[in-house]
């Protein structure tokens, strides 16, 4: 079985934005894109990685959050998913948005033009890589222990890997909001249909799960 590159549980607005403009420490998703609007469907499920109480739904949406870690051996993410800092690292204080126990539990490769030493938090190790998408994927597959690689986003990173035709499957959760401006994944998801099959699955929670896999 070959190793796949999978986008999972990636939230966009109905008009195709994964984040608004003006990302900052206070607004990881920028202006207009309220994380609650994008991710409340996931937060309500029993298998949401950040859940601290034993409750949560076990219906359709839970199949997506419970699949988040299944057979994943590494993640690749863009620098803007890792944090709001741009340009050279002034210091190494910033260790991601996720506190002492990041929800990845695998090696994570952060794509950046600026060198930085690897570090480990709990069972997640962050590596920093100035590389093409193909080279980054090769490195991630090497350490993934035969498992798949998750492409974590953000939007620009997913677009780069799509342009390089390296993505095997995408699960995009479309929230019923429009924000008009920001980091746009697509004008229309039909752009992908020349290369991918699509199942479009409306959820009782209000989001629509778009599931793409290679033709």
Residue ranges that bind a second copy, judged by CB under 8 A: 1-2, 46, 54, 57-60, 62-64, 66-67, 70, 168-169, 197-199, 201, 203-204, 209, 211, 213
Distance (Å, whole) CA 130 – CA 128: 7
**Which of 88/146 has CB closer to a second copy?**
146
Give the pair of three-digit tokens for residue 163.
């342009």
Choose between 92 and 215: whose C-beta lies nearer to a second copy: 215
Distance CA 168, CA 215 (A): 9
Shortest distance, CB of residue 19 to a second copy, whole angstroms? 26
Nearer to a second copy, 64 or 109 (CB): 64
Write the secondary structure of 51-75 as one string of H (helix), E (strand) and C (coil). CCCCCCECCHHHHHHHCCCCCEEEE
Specify the residue, 56 or 83, whose C-beta has the smaller distance to a second copy: 56
Pairing mode of beta strands 72-78, 107-111: parallel
| CB closer to a second copy out of 83 and 103 | 103
Q: Using the 8-state DSSP alphabet, how is residue 113 labeled?
A: S
Min dist CB 61 to a second copy, Å, is 8
CB 64 within 8 A of CB 210: no
How far does CA 184 lie from the centroid of its chain? Answer: 14
CB of residue 186 to a second copy, shortest distance in Å: 18
Instruction: Tell me how far, at minimum, the Cβ of 29 lies from a second copy, in Å.
Output: 26
Shortest approach of a second copy to residue 166 CB, angstroms?
16
**Calpha distance 69→92 (Å, rounded):** 27
* Cα atoms in the Cβ-side hemisphere of radius 13 Å centred on 7: 30
């Amino acid at each position: 079985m070959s190793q796949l590159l999978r986008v999972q549980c990636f939230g966009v607005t109905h008009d195709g934005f994964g984040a608004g403009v003006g990302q900052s420490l206070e607004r990881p998703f920028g202006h207009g894109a309220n994380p609650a609007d994008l991710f409340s469907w996931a937060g309500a499920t029993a298998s949401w990685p950040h859940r601290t109480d034993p409750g949560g739904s076990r219906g359709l949406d839970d199949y997506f959050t419970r699949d988040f870690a299944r057979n994943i051996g590494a993640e690749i993410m863009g620098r803007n998913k890792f944090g709001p800092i741009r340009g050279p690292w002034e210091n190494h204080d910033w260790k991601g948005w996720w506190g002492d126990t990041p929800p990845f539990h695998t090696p994570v490769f952060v794509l950046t033009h600026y060198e930085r030493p690897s570090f480990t938090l709990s069972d997640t190790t962050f590596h920093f890589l100035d590389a093409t998408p193909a080279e980054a994927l090769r490195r991630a597959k090497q350490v993934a222990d035969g498992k798949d690689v998750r492409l974590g986003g953000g939007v620009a990173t997913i677009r780069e890997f799509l342009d390089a035709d390296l993505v095997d499957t995408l699960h995009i959760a479309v929230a019923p909001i429009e924000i008009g401006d920001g980091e746009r994944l697509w004008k229309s998801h039909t752009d992908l249909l020349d290369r991918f099959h699509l199942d479009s699955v409306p959820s009782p929670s209000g989001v629509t799960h778009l599931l793409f896999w290679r033709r």
